[in-house]
Amino acid sequence: QVINLADYRPTDFVLERVDLTFELDPTETKVESRLIFHRREGADTSAPLVLDGDELALAGLLFDQIEMAPDQYTATPESLTVRDLPESDPFELTITTIINPEANTKLMGLYRTGGIYSTQCEAEGFRRITYFPDRPDVLAPYTVNIIAEKATNPLLLSNGNFLGGAGYGEGKHFAAWFDPHPKPSYLFALVAGDLGVIEDTFTTMSGREVALKIYVEHGKEPRAGYAMDALKRSMKWDEDVFGREYDLDIFMIVAVSDFNMGAMENKGLNVFNDKYVLADPETATDADYANIEAIIAHEYFHNWTGNRITCRDWFQLCLKEGLTVYRDHEFSSDQRSRPVKRIAEVRHLKSEQFPEDGGPLAHPVRPTQYREINNFYTTTVYEKGSEVTRMIATLLGKETFKKGMDLYFERHDGQAVTIEDFVKCFEDVSGRDLAQFSLWYQQAGTPLVTASGSYDATAKTFALSLEQMIPATPGQTDKKPMHIPLSLALFAEDGAQLQPSSVTGAEYAGEILHLTDRAQTAVFHCIASRPVVSINRSFSAPIKLHFDQTAADLALLARNETDHFARWQALTDLALPTLLKAARDGHSASADRTFVEPLLAAAADDSLEPAFRAQALALPSESDIARELGGNNDPDAIHAGRQAIMKQVADAGRDVFLKLHETMLTAGDFTPDAKSAGRRALRNTALVYLSYAEASPSRAKAAFDAANNMTDLMQALTILAHRFPDSAEAADALETFRDRFADNALVIDKWFSVQATIPGAKTLDRVVELMENPLFIRTNPNRVRSLIGTFAFTNPTGIGRADGEGYRFLAREILDIDARNPQLAARLLTSMRSWRSLEPVRAEHARKALTEIQQSDKLSTDVRDIVERTLQG
């Protein structure tokens, strides 16, 4: 069944109030839902009320407290249809359902794992709890009463403010919560069980004190401190930067260990994958800390962008997600190093979103059609959606953008709105027509911009010709030219920036060039000498750029650009030709000096921040190379070629790396701040290169033994396992690591991942063997992702081994997982999205594996949707 954006219409009935009572029981939870509705003015007076369900059974239905006659309604597992309802008077329906939280392996709706009841309702999980108009444009205040056995569930939580609680006869107790802010059902949450807590408070800008609580498993309280700190910084930042104040008396976060995604912004009660809450130096890497900070912020920021203002329908998902990712990116940039954060964002966008946009699953930031909404929580909606928001800020300038956001908050508070409503706010404050710009929401595919420049020494003009091409994507063949804001600067041979007296042929203001036509030539006047152009600085637009620049010009930018993102880009552009060539030449590849020298110069440049240098030294990955090659890819050749180049860079830079390894040691106690993390990153990158130069595990072994934090320990372990997989040192380290952390699931995930990513065909056997390990829990999404997911997504030579066994393995596992947890299975399957760019033998193996999945007769709609699009596109 296909849902179309064009078919949107409001509900016939308006929901006024929701009153829920849960009698919790592991296998038989009774849910009584009292809903007050009235017919919408102008709606058909004979229209029935149709409520959504999903695997539900109706156990009782009252109309204004009186049992309804069987001929007045029809209940199926998927819907409840009620007829003969009043023309305009409000009425009350009381709906009773009985659900089984322990049997709920989909982890959508109300489920119970590890003794904890929790919920996940976005996008359509609420309908697994009770019959309801389960769509984001139905907003109401909720009262929630929870009754449960007291001994096993001392904690009873839901959204909003706590009303009160008391004993409730034989060993039970109850709690009542009221959320005054009208919300859609996807923001509902309930948590019950026995958990530990850390508490703090935050005083808002208007002086209200908010109680902050983070609930974790008993004994893990000390590991929630960083999350609490990140939360307080997020609350402050949203006040300072966006003027947004928190709006309830209490804000709670619960960490759960069985969770399908990262986290969920339920009003006043965020539920998190514990991976994004728990951290201490012994068990969390710097990347873990950065993720926790970003995700805590993200979910908190949703309180305004998502909760106070929500989506009219699920096609508008990027309205809240793209905007909120943009906000969390800005937050992290302010907390850390802006250019380094930008480099990381762009790396992520290119490695995750570009392949999506260039493959069979490509879709617009705002799709117009879906079969399964769960499959649209994608990097296109999130990350490209964030880039589109960033471009609005770039086009309008910081101040006008802020005015637009203020207007958005003021105009739409309490509403469920669309992308058009959002964009209109920026048009209204700027007077700029954003119709063409809005194509970014509508047209899928990564635009390709081709640039070429020519300098006229006599006229002192520089002409830059630009052309844009938006590739065809599934369902979209004809594309219109887009409005592409390109941050652009010109540099002289001595590295100084050149300022044109004027620019003709294109709008150019504040160093932003507006590319709006299919082809356009901008002429820069009064340019005294041949300029070196830097285009798409800070990655101002999410495009691919084809611009033939000489190695000398790129090296000049790598040395002199004031925008450090652009320096990194120049270094990457210098490295790419060598890596692409190496992917064809394999072992015999050789590194071009024109790329090695600037790279080592940057590495050794102490005026650059260590984190930046680490980013520069992290060469494009094997999948980056595969993406750039674009077709007929042989993962083994790409791997061999890249290894050969790594070795040559390592040999050429041995002295630099030795020195960095020595000098970047951070003294004193571990702190997770960005500066120390940057030093660790640079030092560990140096260690990686040294492992190539020295071709021996001893230095990594020594690092493993000396490590006093998880970042260093993991890096050493990774070098041992990946570079020297058959060594005794690797085997010992893996064993030591496992024994030391066997009781810490999140660290064991790292142990699985590091083994799942060992390059080469043999790794499949190891993965299969690890699945038999008692530490591997099939029903836990984090375990599955850490082993099978990491193998499928980030081990091209393993999953893509030439005999096709990797893909066959994946197909089997996906079918097995799909029977329990369709969302998890569908997500894993997206790892196959680039199968068509493999060389023919592997592509055929991949196609067969996909076909095997497709032919299964009991597929979930989630997996069916992905597999069919992947085969078709």
Instruction: Report the interface residues with Zn ion, using CB under 5 A.
Output: 321, 324
Any catalytic annotation for residue 299?
Answer: yes
d(CA 455, CA 491): 13
Closer of 321 and 636 to Zn ion (Cβ): 321
Q: How far apart are CA 631 and CA 835, in angstroms?
A: 10
Angle, CA of 370, 371 and 372, to the nearest 5°: 95
Q: How far apart are CA 737 and CA 785, in angstroms?
A: 20
Catalytic residue from among 122, 299, 561, 609: 299
Determine whether 699 is exposed, middle or buried from the number of CB atoms within 10 Å of its CB (0-12, 13-18, 19+). Answer: middle
Pairing between β-strand 512-515 and β-strand 507-509 as defined by DSSP bridges: antiparallel
Cβ distance to Zn ion smaller for residue 324 or 534: 324
**Main-chain phi, psi angles of 518, to 5 degrees:** -60, -40
Nearer to Zn ion (CB atom), residue 13 or residue 370: 370
Three-state secondary structure string covering 227-296: HHHHHHHHHHHHHHHHCCCCCCCEEEEEEECCCCCCEECCCCEEEEEHHHCCCCCCCCCHHHHHHHHHHH
Q: How far is the CB of 386 from Zn ion (least distance, A)?
A: 10
Give least dist CB 321 to Zn ion, A.
Answer: 5
Would residue 55 be called left, alpha or beta, if left means φ above 0 and alpha means ψ between -120 and 50 degrees?
A: left
Tokens representing residue 360 in the block: 């069979």
CA atoms within 13 A on the CB side of 539: 25
Q: Is the distance from CB of 755 to CB of 764 less than 8 angstroms? A: no
Q: 425: which 2 tokens? A: 């706010």
- Taking the least distance from each CB to Zn ion, the nearer of 31 and 297 is 297
> Could you tell me whether strands 190-193 and 209-216 are parallel, antiparallel, or unpaired per DSSP bridges?
unpaired
> Residue 533 corresponds to which amino acid?
V
Which CB, 81 or 333, lies closer to Zn ion? 333
Q: What is the separation, in whole angstroms, between the first and last Cα of the chain? A: 19
Is the Cβ of residue 144 or residue 297 nearer to Zn ion in the bound state?
Answer: 297
- The least distance separating Zn ion from the CB of residue 305, rounded to whole angstroms, comes to 9
Residue with tokens 């700027």: 430
Q: Of 216 and 319, which CB lies nearer to Zn ion in the complex structure?
A: 319
Q: Tokens 């027509």 correspond to what residue? A: 433
Phi and psi for 428 in degrees, rounded to 5?
A: -65, -40
State the nearest-atom distance from the C-beta of 322 to Zn ion, in Å. 9
Distance in Å, CB of 506 to Zn ion, minimum? 35
Give residue 532's region: left, alpha or beta (phi > 0; psi -120 to 50).
beta
Residue 283 phi, psi (nearest 5):
-120, -10
Which of 755, 610, 758, 580 lies closest to 685 in space, CA to CA?
610
Residues ≥6 apart with Cβ < 8 Å to 371? 1, 2, 3, 861, 864, 865
Nearer to Zn ion, 377 or 440 (CB): 377
CB of 317 to Zn ion, least distance (A): 9
Q: What is the smallest separation between the CB atom of 204 and Zn ion, expressed in angstroms?
A: 22
Measured from the CB of residue 302, what is the shortest distance to Zn ion in angstroms? 6
Q: What residues act catalytically?
A: 299
